[in-house]
Every structure is written in structure tokens, then in C-alpha cells.
Amino acid sequence: MEYKYILILIVIVYLPVLITGQYTMRGVPGSYAVLGENYTLQCDVTDSPSLVDFRRNNIVVCNMINCGSSSDNRYKCGCINNNNKQLYLNISNINKQDGTTWSCRGSSGRQGSTSVPVYYPPDITSITSDVVNNTADEGSDVIFNCNVDSKPVSTITWSSSTSTNTNTQSGQQWTLTQAKCQDTGIYTCTANNGIGQSTTKSLPLIIRCSPRINGDLKDEVINGLGEEVTLLIDVIAYPKPSFKWIQESTGLELTPDTTQQVATNNYISSLTVTIQQSSFDNYIVTVNNGIGGDKSYTIKIIDGDPETKPVSVEQSGYQEGLATGIGIGIGIGIGISLVCVFLVLLTIFIYRKYHPANKKLPEESYATFSNTNPEERTYEDLNTRPEVNENNQHSGDAKEYENMRRN
């Protein structure tokens, strides 16, 4: 009995579909359209409708009768390969309003529908910071915001033209913490969502700060009488600083050359001097921009050959260390030599102590002399050993014994 009811239910649900047909709609080849490009919708039907229309938000944009269609500049519909069960709608030059619901409806009243998302590349609508006029005090935090219109959502990255902020940061909002004078520069927001090209927009940032030397100060200049030299000081500061040059021995204020602005917060002041005898002196330059008080630096003009470079503190330290090392090495060498000499002398002393020079070895008693006076020595004395005399004596005894026996 239950199977009967189930069969009746299936007939009630699916019979209208079998009679009037089923409609399904989808985008091809992808599920989304791209702004400015063309897009195609395909409608598959199970019946053979004589009339079909395509609609956007239930408003007819294209209709067809027996595969013959009407079209305008943007929409064109028809049958795929003259198959009235596979229908298409071509949409040219997709715009953002096309990102909505589309449907195909047959004369029977059956229809299929789908939603079409329209993707488009990022557009940076604004880039801002939370400081007034993009100017902040040194040591403060600066918050940047980058607002982007895109679909799908973009990945946002930040970069800076300054050497202290080369690492890329990400996110719609980014904070520069404890800004330094060197952080003055251009900050760029980059947005990318994989549709079209990435886009960028930039914002300047200026950090108010007291003057400080940019790089290394050349604090000694060498040249001779009659020559012209230029003393330079390169500083980072904002706002623009003033420069005052004074010769130390005279206390006179000198007129510098025109101050050069290299960058927003980078200034170079110079003083040109034609050297006289009184010019070999210290020159003090005082820098002030209203933040942090005066900053003073000293540059010295030295009489000499400009090709001769002054020895820096690092070089002099190296040379002093090298000389010290050499001295220590020589001292150690001398000490080792003295120890060696001492050991040799000690060895000689010990040897002579246990082996006196007047002690005769057996072979050294080679000759005995009958006379102590050298002038009275005879040839026999010089060539006679005790063993020889003894042998001669024994030889005489033997001869005497032999004579007695014969007699």
C-alpha cells in the first residue's frame, strides 16, 4: 500500500516537468564574468519550446523563436549548432550591473536561472594617514589606510622609498611605529586580486626632527697656502635649518655659500676659503631648525699636501696596536734567545765541573818526559811511553836468561 502512495507522489511531482520540460542555466566556460570582457550563458532544456527569452533581473534582453533570435549591441541569443535543446546568450562588454540574476524562460512558463558575479581589478579609491598634512613628530606612530574597490577582495601591501622601511607590510591599515627622521619619504599602497594588473597609489610622509649629520662628517681638510678649499656639512633635518659658520681663533662669523636642499629633509651648507696663514684653524658650524636646540660641529683646515690623507682614529688605533704587537713579539724573541744562551752556558759549566780540563785520560798520558826543561828533552824522551820502557825491560831479562841457559 505504501508503494502505491510513493508512486502517486512521484507522478504528481515529476509529471509537470516531463510535460512542460526542465530548464537549467549556467555560465561558460567559467562561473564568473570579468568587467569589460565578453561572457556566455547556456540554457539546457528538455522540451522543445517554440519561444524562449533571456532575462536580466526578470527583464527580457533577448528572445528567440525556433532558434531565430533578435539581438542588440550587447546581447545575442540562439541555438547551439541549431539544437533547440541547447540555447545560448552572448553578453558583450560586461559591466558591473551585469553581476546579477539571469534566466531563460520557455513558452510553457518553465525557466532556469543563475547568478553571475562580475569580477574586476582593484581600484584604490583613497590612501590616507592619521597625521595632519602628512607631517608627524619624530617618535610618534603614524597610521596609514588604503581603501580599495575590487572583486574579489584584493591583497593590499605597503612599501616605502626610505631605506629604513624596505620590508613589505600587508593589510588595509598599516602602522609606522616610533617614526624616525630617516622615515621621511613616499609610502605606497599596492592592491592585487588576480584580475588584470595590480594598482598602486602613494602618499608622502614628513617627520619633524632636529638636525643630525647625514653619513660621516669630513672634519679635517688638508691644503697649502693660496689654495681654495670648501668645507661641507651635510645634515638631515625638518623643517629647514639655519647654518652659522665661525672661525674659532677670531670668533668672526663667516658668510657661507648658498645652502643646497638635496631632499625634503636633507640640506648641505658649504664655506669656501682661500687659504692664508691665518686660515689654518678650526671652523665651527652651528645648525638650528627650532627643534632640539643648537647642534655644533667642528671642521679643521690643516697645512699640508692635499694628497696626504689624515690618519683616522681607527687607523691610528690599528697602527698603535700593530706597533704594540711587534714590540711584544720582539720582546718575546729576545727573552727566548736569552734563555737559550743561559742554558748553553749552564751546560758548559756543568760539563767543565765534572770533566776538568787538566784531567788526563789514559790515552792522553802518551809520553813521559825525563826532563822537565823542554830544551833538555831528547828525541827518545819525546817518543817513549812507560809501556814501551816496560816492554824493553822485559825483553832484556828474556835475553839474559837465554844466554845463561846456553852457557
Residue with the bigger pLDDT between 245 and 312: it is: 245
Q: What are the Cα distances from residue 51, in Å, to 55, 73, 87, 106? A: 13, 21, 11, 6
Q: The whole model's pTM is what?
A: 0.64
**Three cell numbers, residue 279:** 686660515
Beta strands in 39-115 (DSSP E): 39-45, 51-56, 59-65, 68-69, 75-80, 83-91, 101-106, 111-115
Q: Which residue in 151, 129, 183 sits closest to 32, CA to CA? A: 151
Read off the pLDDT of each residue in 48-77 and give the average, rounded to a whole number.
Answer: 87
Burial of 286 (0-12, 13-18, 19+ CB in 10 A): middle
Read off the pLDDT of each residue in 241-246 and give the average, rounded to a whole number.
Answer: 98
Kindly report the CA angle at 132 between 126 and 134, in degrees rounded to 5?
A: 60
- Contacts with 11 (C-beta within 8 Å, 6 or more apart), sequence order: none
Percent of the chain with pLDDT over 70: 74
Within the chain, all domains assigned CATH 2.60.40.10 are found at 18-116, 120-209, 214-303
pLDDT the model gives residue 400? 53
Read off the pLDDT of each residue in 386-399 and give the average, rounded to a whole number.
Answer: 47
- Say how many Å lie between the first and final Cα of the chain, rounded: 180
- Structural element, H or E, at residue 201: strand 199-213
CATH of domain 18-116: 2.60.40.10
Q: Superfamily assignment of 120-209 in CATH? A: Immunoglobulins (2.60.40.10)
Q: Which of 28-37, 206-215, 357-366 has the lowest mean pLDDT?
A: 357-366
pLDDT the model gives residue 355? 66
Domain 214-303, what fold?
A: Immunoglobulin-like (2.60.40)
Average pLDDT, the chain: 82
Give the pLDDT band (50/70/90) at residue 271.
very high
Could you tell me the sign of the dihedral formed by the alpha carbons of 213, 215, 220, 224, in that order? Answer: negative
